[in-house]
Structure 1
Amino acid sequence: MKLSRHLHWALPALITALVVSYRAGDPGPWRDEMASWSAATRTVPQIFAMGRHIDGVLVPYYLFLHAWIDGFGDSVIAMRVPSIIAMSATAAIVALLARRWWGNAAGLLGGLLFAIVPAVSRYGQEIRGYAFATLFATLATLVLAIALDRSRWWTWSGYGLCVALAGLSHLLSLLVLAGHAVLVLVAVRRDGRWRALWWFLAAGAGIGAMLPLTAGGLGQQSAQLNWLKAADLTTLAEFPGNLFLVPAVGGAVAILAVTALQRGRATPAAALWAAVLLPVGLLYAYDHGGAPIFVARYLLFCVPLLCALAGAGLTVVRLPVALAAVLVLGAAGLPKQQEIRRDHSSWDYRAAAEVIRDNQAAGDGIVYAPRDGWQVVDLGLAYYLRDRTPRDLMLVADEVTEGSLWATECTDAAKCLGTTKRIWVVAADNIDPYFRATATNQLTSGEKAALKSYDQPAFWRVGGFTITLFVRP
C-alpha cells in the first residue's frame, strides 16, 4: 500500500489530538497542577522569587503559563491546551523520525502507537512541562539526525535551540544527550570528527542558553523530592509499566522496539535504544549516588523514541496486520484511558470546594489541615472558591509572601481562631504513611485544644477529604 506523502505524520498528529483532548477538562487539577496555577498567577518578579526557594527548574514553564493565562484564562481546559498541542506535535515528530530511517509505513505505525499510549493522554492533559520536554527532546533527536546527514550552520543552530527548549521545559530531559552522543559517535566513524565538534558546540550552546533560567533549582531536588524513596531493582523492573501507565502496553512496545534491531538499518535502532537506556541508567545511578529522583514521568521523552522503534519493528508484517496490532494495544489501554478521564489523583478539590460553597454562611472561617504537606489543600480550594473562600483563620503570611507553595500559620491557635462562630476544617488524607483524615487527626495540638469547646453538627467525606463544620455553642 502506497502511503500519501504527508499522511504518515499528519494522521498520527490528528488522532493524538483527538485522543488527548477527549474529555481533557473533566478531571480536576491534581496537586502538581495546582502548584502550576498558583505559580503562574503570580507576577513575574514573584515567580522568580519563588524559584529561588522551590521549583527553580520549572520557572521557564511558569513564565510561559503566566503569559498563556493572561491571554486565554485559567480554566482547567485552557491551561491544558498547550500540553495537548505539544503531545499532538510530538506524534508527528515520532512519525518523521521513524520515516527517516525505516520508511513511511514505520512512521505511520510509530505515530499511531504513540497516539494510543495512555501516558500520552495522561501527561497531555497535565498543566506541567512534561509534554513540552517530550516534544523538544524528540525534535532534538530528529534535528540531530538531519544535522549529521546535512551538516549546515542552520541545522546545528536548530539542534541547539531544541536542546535549550527541552532543558527549559524539564531539566532532566537533557539526559537524552547521552543517547545523542552515541548517534554522533556513529557519524564520526562514517564522516569524520568535524561532526563531533559541531555537536559539542551546538549542545553546549543550548545548555548554556537555558542554564540562567534554571540554575537556581539545581540544588533543590533533595528538598522537593523528600517524599521519594531510593529506587531498587523492583522499581527498575516496573519502569516500562510505570512509564506507559499500562504494563501490557509498555511491555509490548518494548518488545516491538527490540525487533527493530533486526531490521536492515540496525545502527540507528541501536542509537535510539541508547537514547532510551542511557538516560534510564543515569537517572537510576544518580538516585543511588545522590538523592532519590527516579520517577517514571521524568523520563517521559523515552516513550516517543520507543514508539518510533516499535513502528519500525511492526513493518516486518503487512500494513493491515500491523494496524490491527496497534488497535489491539489501544484496546488494552482503554480501561486506563477511561480512568484518566475521571480523575488525576485521589484528592477531589472541586468536590471539597462545592461542599463549602453550598453550605457556608457569612462570617465563616476556615482551617486547612495539613498546611505544610504536599496536599496543598488551600491552593486547591482557592482555585475553585476564589473570592468566596472563607476567611483563613490561621494565616500569617501567604504563599506569595513566602515565595513558596506553603503559607505560614500562626502559633497561637486559640488567639487566631478567636470568637469565630462557625469554622470549617478541611482535612486531607495523609500521603506517607497513608491514613484517612478525620475531623481532628490532621490538626495541630493547639488547633485541637482551641476547637474542643465547639460542636460538630455536620461533616462530609468527599474525594480524599474530610470536611467538618465546627460551631460554637
Structure 2
Amino acid sequence: MTCLIGHLAPVAMRARRERRTWLGFGCAILAGVALLLPVVVPGRAETLRQIWWITKPDAWGLVDIWSQLFYTGLCAGTVLVLALVACRARRDAVVFRTVSAVAPVLLIWAVSHGHISYLYFRYMLFTLPALAMLAGAGLATGARSRRVIAAVLAALALLTLPDQKSMREPLAHYWPGGPDFAAAARTIQRGYVPGDAIVYSRVQEEALSLGVSYYLPRDLKLRDVFLAESPTRRDDLAATQCLEPARCLWGEKRIWVVVEGNAPDPLHGLPPHPGGGASGPLRGVRRSAPHRPHGAPAA
C-alpha cells in the first residue's frame, strides 16, 4: 500500500493543471483499498506471530537497508549515484520513480518504531524496479555513447562478480546460519522405509515442516505424528498440535525426528510404552538435523 505514495507525486503535479485528477485518483484509491481490506484485516491479527523477530531499526538501519537490497554496498552505491544523475532527465518521470523508491522505505522505517517493526530488506524488494529505472535513466543521461554505457555496465559486472558468485552458493538465500532443508530431506530419502512417520522440533516447527517437505519427493509419504490440524485446514499461519502427544502415536515402528541444531527433542518425556495403539517400546527413532551451512546432516 505504500506504493500509493509514489503515484501521489505525479497526480499532485498534474492536478495543478487539471483538478479533476484528484477525483479519479481518489476513486481508484478507495477501490484498491476496499479490495485489500479482506486480506489486511485478518492479516493484522497474525502480524506478531509472523514478524515478531524483526528488531526496531535505528538510524544506521535506514542507511544499511540499501546495501542489503542490492546484496552489496558497491552495487547499491553505483545505482544510487546513477539515480541522482537522472535528476537531469524528465522531471515528472524522475519524481515519480524517486518517490516510489525512497518514500515507502522512509515511511516503513518510521512506522517500525511503533508496536511492530516491518523494516526488513526482503520486504523492501518492491522498490528495486523504480531504482533500476532511475539508474538506467541516469546512465543514459550522463553517457555520451553506447560504448560508455557498455563500459560502465561491464565494469560493474566485473566488480560485483564475487558477490554474484556468493549469492549462488548453497544456503546463500537463507538467513545466516539457516537450516539446510535439502540436506535433511536427502538424509530422510536415503533411509526411508514405507510406514515411517516424522516429527518436527517445536522450535520453528512451521519452517522446518515446510522446508523439509518441499525437498522430499511427492510420493514419499510421512505422517506428521503430532500434527492435529494443518495451517491450511485452520486457515491460519500456525498448525494445531496434539494436546496429548502419547495418544497421537499410532504404533509406528520408526519415526524421523527433525530438529535444528541443538533444539529440544520433541519425543523427550514420552513413556517407553506410549498410548494410542503402540504395541511395544518405541523403536527405530531416526533423527535428522538440518544443520548449519558448514555442518553435515546426520540421522
Report what 1:324 is aligned to: 151
Equivalent residues in 2 for 1:267-416, closer than 5 Å: 267-314=92-139, 315-318=141-144, 319-341=146-168, 342-343=170-171, 344-345=173-174, 346-370=178-202, 373=204, 376-383=207-214, 384-416=216-248
How many residue pairs match? The answer is: 281
Deviation (angstroms), 1:421:
4.0
> How has the CA–CA distance of structure 1 residues 331 and 457 changed in structure 2, closer, same or farther, with 3 Å as cutoff?
same
Unaligned runs of 5+ in 2: 273-280
State the AA in 2 paired with 1:177: L
**Identity percentage of aligned residues:** 30
Equivalent of 1:193, from 12, 15, 19?
19
The question of 1:243 aligning with 2:69 is answered yes
Deviation (angstroms), 1:456:
8.4
Deviation (angstroms), 1:374:
6.0
Deviation (angstroms), 1:251:
1.4
Secondary structure of the 1:301 match is: helix
Alignment partners' CA distance in 2, 1:302 and 1:405: 26
2:257/2:287 contact within 8 Å kept:
no
Alignment partners' CA distance in 2, 1:253 and 1:387: 46
State the AA in 1 paired with 2:238: W
Alignment partners' CA distance in 2, 1:217 and 1:458: 37
Secondary structure of the 1:386 match is: coil
1:376/1:406 contact within 8 Å kept:
no
Indicate the structure whose relative CO is greater, using CA pairs within 8 Å and at least 6 residues apart. Answer: 1
The question of 1:223 aligning with 2:43 is answered no
Report what 1:448 is aligned to: 268
Secondary structure of the 1:366 match is: strand
Secondary structure of the 1:231 match is: coil
Question: What TM-score does the superposition give when structure 1 sets the normalisation length?
Answer: 0.52
Alignment partners' CA distance in 2, 1:352 and 1:403: 27
Secondary structure of the 2:112 match is: helix
Deviation (angstroms), 1:211:
3.3
After superposition, give the CA deviation of every residue in 1:130-159 in whole Å (9 maximum; x if it has no partner): xxxxxxxxxxxxxxxxxxxxxxxxxxxxxx
Report what 2:8 is aligned to: 181
Alignment partners' CA distance in 2, 1:451 and 1:238: 51
Deviation (angstroms), 1:412:
3.8
2:51/2:117 contact within 8 Å kept:
yes
Alignment partners' CA distance in 2, 1:390 and 1:227: 30
Deviation (angstroms), 1:414:
4.2
2:198/2:257 contact within 8 Å kept:
yes
Deviation (angstroms), 1:199:
2.1
Deviation (angstroms), 1:225:
1.1
State the AA in 1 paired with 2:102: L
> How has the CA–CA distance of structure 1 residues 213 and 399 changed in structure 2, closer, same or farther, with 3 Å as cutoff?
closer
After superposition, give the CA deviation of every residue in 1:273-322 in whole Å (9 maximum; x if it has no partner): 22222211111111113411112222223212122222222221222112
State the AA in 2 paired with 1:323: A
Alignment partners' CA distance in 2, 1:270 and 1:292: 28
Secondary structure of the 1:248 match is: helix
> How has the CA–CA distance of structure 1 residues 320 and 427 changed in structure 2, closer, same or farther, with 3 Å as cutoff?
same
Secondary structure of the 2:268 match is: helix
- Root-mean-square deviation (Å): 3.1
Equivalent of 1:234, from 57, 60, 74?
60
2:206/2:238 contact within 8 Å kept:
no
Deviation (angstroms), 1:227:
1.6
Deviation (angstroms), 1:219:
4.1
Alignment partners' CA distance in 2, 1:362 and 1:396: 22
Secondary structure of the 1:425 match is: strand
Structure (1 or 2) with the larger CA radius of gyration: 2
Deviation (angstroms), 1:218:
3.9
After superposition, give the CA deviation of every residue in 1:253-279 in whole Å (9 maximum; x if it has no partner): 011111222x15345423432222221
Deviation (angstroms), 1:241:
0.7
Secondary structure of the 2:163 match is: helix
Secondary structure of the 2:155 match is: helix
State the AA in 1 paired with 2:67: G
